Amino acid sequence: MPHTTIIHAATQTLIEHVEELTALDQAIGDGDHGLNMRRGALAIQAKLPEWQGKSLNDTLKAMGMTCMSTIGGSSGPVFGTLLVTLARELPAEPGPADLSRALQAGIAALTKLGKAEVGQKTLLDVLDPLQRMLAQAAAAADADVVSKARQCAFDAADATAKMDAIKGRASFLGERALGHVDPGSRSMALIVGSICDSLSNTARASSAAT
């Protein structure tokens, strides 16, 4: 499956969940996260025809720059920096170990960018467990890595509801932020989940054809 097809599916997932993401952000933030992510997703989809034939690395870099220029608030720099970092770190055909190393670099870049750390109710709380899970799967040559990565991302996003908000607007709410999932973490989980679903569908189709 071309990576542009996977990207289209992931961005479409964000568009379809705009109301959920908006509601999450209305509870503990500015209320614009869903609309911002939809704006970025639509901008990326509009440019996908231009990116046909580009390498994965070039496409990720172009996506990152698009996020920075179109997504409002803090999400643009955050998702843009993550994508540009992944573009720099990933090989052309990444495996679990490559993804783990690239995510580690992405976490470091985002920590530097936002002065945030794991455990402070941000999307880092999805990226960090995912990075560690991929490292373990690579070491064990786990064949079930895709489904486990999907579950890891959603479980990690859900777990942010139990965390105190240290960064962003939610930090002003104190204990009132407890019980609410971090919107950025949910967006990250939706993206990872969609990518995993695309990879699983491709694997099933290939198996059925043989």
**CATH number for position 100:** 1.25.40.340
Got the DSSP string for 134-202? HHHHHHHT-TTHHHHHHHHHHHHHHHGGGSPP-SSGGGGGGGGGTT---HHHHHHHHHHHHHHHHHHHH
One digit per residue, the tens of pLDDT, for the chain of length 210 reads 889 999 999 999 999 999 999 999 999 888 999 999 999 999 999 999 999 999 999 999 999 999 999 998 889 999 999 999 999 999 989 999 999 999 999 999 999 998 889 999 999 999 999 999 999 999 999 999 999 999 999 999 999 999 987 655 555 444 556 788 999 999 999 999 999 999 999 878 777 776
Angle, CA of 124, 36 and 51, to the nearest 5° = 85
Question: Structurally, how many domains does the chain consist of?
Answer: 1
Note if the pTM is more than 0.85: yes
- What is the residue whose two structure tokens read 């046909």? 52
Range of the domain at 48: 3-209
Rounded distance, CA 117 to CA 106, Å?
12
pLDDT at 168: 57
Quote helix, strand, coil % in the chain, to nearest 5: 80, 0, 20
Q: List the structure tokens of 209.
A: 């054809």
